Amino acid sequence: MQNIINKTYNALATLFLQIKAKVIIHIIANKEDYLIYSKELAYLKQKLSIIPYKLCDLNEELIKVYEEKGLKYSYLDGKKLFFQRNIEMSCAIDTIKNLIMEQQKDSPHLYVDDSFDFPEGAILIDAGAAEGNFALLNIEKAKQVYLFECDNGWNEPLKATFEPYKHKVTIVNKFLVSEKNDNLNEITIDDYFDGISNEKIFIKMDLEGHSIDVLRGAEKCLRNNDCFISTATYHYTDEYKQNKEFLENIGYTVKPGCGYMFPWIFRNMSKPYFRYGILRAWKDNRMSY
């Protein structure tokens, strides 16, 4: 009975969010600045999506999920990507589809592209690693990889995914925070990488709104190293602005990625309804954009 109640509640909650999103789309479409988002609005009127763009269609017949030692996995860039134990087959298929889609060209959730690529030989700090897809896509280029993921449920699949690369991959099951404290489950980037300097470092973050805290806890690392940052910035209203101001104040150039996200699935969604999906940053005079 409880399962039925939960499913009914979730279905009604989703329906409410869909109705709310359609009302928002209608309101924006009738405002004077609608032309700014004309491309996004045209797509959303046809299909409600957090990524309001037509991306390349995937050949779903080529998306396969297999099982090994009780863990389901799929292939990403020719490498095995494992999922959490007991994930349903349909959920695993949807997950790999979404991971591929969000890293397509012209996606607002694309971390790197031809103008902002992962530097050969850089240290990768993957904050909010989850499946570890970004690290897996750049594993050959990276000098060392540090996967920060506070959800212990990802520990087993991450170990399985990066078993062939375990000589240069470290999994850190801790919360990244802004200040050092006595909580053994929390750590700052500055504390973890104490003493590191003059290194080339790529910091990728997808932390559901906590990126500004992690950046504040990484200021020394950012000042003392040649860092590149690519972080998701659509989870709350001022996320992009706060990250941008902080990074510019310590000498970084900041630009948004390609396009906007429309996070209609967030229950507390408020203006701006269209938000930059990704913020990219690098030290001044390092590169042109």
Tens of pLDDT, residues 124-155: 999 999 999 999 999 999 999 999 999 999 99
Question: What does the pLDDT average to over 255-276?
Answer: 88
The count of other CB atoms within 10 Å of the CB of residue 257 is: 24
The three-state secondary structure class of 262 is coil
Lowest mean pLDDT among 95-99, 206-210, 268-272: 268-272
Q: Is 80 helix (H, G, I), strand (E, B) or coil?
A: strand
Q: Which helix (H) or strand (E) holds 81?
A: strand 79-82
| pLDDT value of residue 29 | 65
- Give the count of alpha carbons within 13 A of 222, CB side only: 23
Band (289; pLDDT cuts 50, 70, 90): very low
Q: Which residues of 79-112 are buried (b: 16+ CB within 10 A; e: fewer)?
A: bbbbbbeebeeeebbebbeebbbbbeeebbbbbb
Amino acid at residue number 5 = I
This prediction has a pTM of: 0.89
Q: Is the pLDDT of residue 192 over 60?
A: yes
- According to the model, what pLDDT value does residue 36 have? 85
Q: Which one-letter amino acid corresponds to residue 70?
A: G
Q: Using one digit for the tens of pLDDT, what is the confidence trace for 157-177?
A: 999 999 999 999 999 999 999
Give the span between the Cα atoms of 142 and 199, in whole angstroms.
12
Q: What gap in Å lies between CA 236 and CA 96, rounded to an integer? A: 25
Higher pLDDT, 98 or 284: 98
pLDDT for 17 equals 62
